[in-house]
Structure 1
Amino acid sequence: MRNRPIPGSSGLVKAMSLFGDPVLHAPCESVTDFSPALKQLVQDMFATMYASRGVGLAANQVGVPLRVFVYDCPDDEDVRHLGHIVNPRLVEADGVTVRGPEGCLSLPGIEAGTERFDHAVVEGVTSDGEPVRVEGTGFFARCLQHECDHVDGLVYPDRLSGWRRAKALRAARRARRA
């Protein structure tokens, strides 16, 4: 068995972009430069995600408007899923629709019941440009859909309506003033 470095161990913790920051509300650019800077970004994102105690993090959440996200997330059977995806595309989202609590590192301390499909498939490439296909169910499917939304310029309150949306947006405004 080969010893691999722990994701994020060579990364730096970056400042988190918070709800309302324009970088979170615009679609991210596709990655075209697969230089060492991309590998460092992935490491920094893992370090930031772990420091913030999250299960997923998109590049725009650290102010970088590129289509990249990292994850270290269990599914409903408590199987750990660990990796990153560059230029992700949500190619399947189906199955049962489940409303469950959803939070976001860019809206710290705020959760809302958000509808997501129970199955998701994301395709993209690694930081080396190798094709990758990731399939998830349950909580991990929620994570994959959430992170794909981020790179498309959406945050989970954009998926809410009615009183759930109003409550989440009110809490976000209060948090910004605090």
Structure 2
Amino acid sequence: MALRDILRWPDPRLSRKCVKVGDTDVGDLVRDLFETMYDAPGRGLAAPQIGVLVRVFVMDAGWKDGEMAPRACIDPEIVAASETSETRDEGCLSIPGVTARVTRPDWIVLRYRGLDGAVHEERLEGMEATCAQHELDHLDGIVTFDRVAPEARRDLETEYEALL
């Protein structure tokens, strides 16, 4: 396992859509993602955030509040989502120091392959749903700035630039 550098916006790799992994062994990548995420400390981290443009992310939405529940998601996809939404403050390890108000479905059904090779399908709610959707956005080249209104984006970008 190795700690990896986390790319910071506006690195162009954060705006690229990632390719599917398929049957490729990504065990070392997943271990590096977990080590880097926990060290950061974050709740989720996607492969493109460390410069690897494949459809893999890791998350542990509750570890900061108590119980650890690490999840590695390979070639994930949302197969169902609620029609109701929830707005939360979202931070991003690639845009440190800035929090955006993002509205997303309040629950999703996520299908992914785990490190065990099995296909998993889970209904995620609350912070887990938000975290998974945020990380999935990274796999599609989307950052939180892309999820807010243009005026809010300008304000957030100005805030971020002032932190650099």
Same topology, TM > 0.5: yes
Map of 1:114 onto structure 2: 102
What is the CA–CA distance in structure 2 between the aligned matches of 1:79 and 1:95, rounded to whole Å? 29
Structure 2 counterpart of 1:64, one-letter code? V
**Which of 122, 127, 134 is matched with 1:146 structurally?**
134
Determine helix, strand or coil for the equivalent of 2:162. helix
Q: Does 1:91 align with 2:75?
A: no
1:93 CA displacement: 2.2
In the alignment, structure 1 segments of 5+ residues that lack a partner are: 1-10
Structure 1 counterpart of 2:130, one-letter code? R
Structure 2 counterpart of 1:159, one-letter code? R
Q: Does 1:51 align with 2:27?
A: no
In the alignment, structure 2 segments of 5+ residues that lack a partner are: none
1:99 CA displacement: 1.4
Q: Do the aligned partners of residues 79 and 98 (structure 1) sit closer, same or farther apart at CA in structure 2, a change above 3 Å counting?
A: farther
Alignment of 1:28-177 (within 5 A): 28-35=18-25, 38-74=26-62, 80-175=68-163
Structure 1 counterpart of 2:11, one-letter code? D
Determine helix, strand or coil for the equivalent of 1:101. strand
Superposed CA offset, 1:104-161 (max 9, x none): 0000110011111110121121234321123211111100110111101101110100
- Residues matched between the structures, number: 163
What is the CA–CA distance in structure 2 between the aligned matches of 1:140 and 1:45, rounded to whole Å? 17
Determine helix, strand or coil for the equivalent of 1:20. coil
Alignment RMSD (CA, Å): 1.9
Q: Is the contact between residue 78 and residue 109 of structure 2 (CA under 8 Å) also seen in structure 1?
A: yes
Q: Is the contact between residue 34 and residue 129 of structure 1 (CA under 8 Å) also seen in structure 2?
A: no
Q: Does 1:18 align with 2:8?
A: yes
Structure 2 counterpart of 1:14, one-letter code? R
Map of 1:3 onto structure 2: none
1:12 CA displacement: 0.8
Q: Normalized against structure 2, the TM-score is what?
A: 0.91
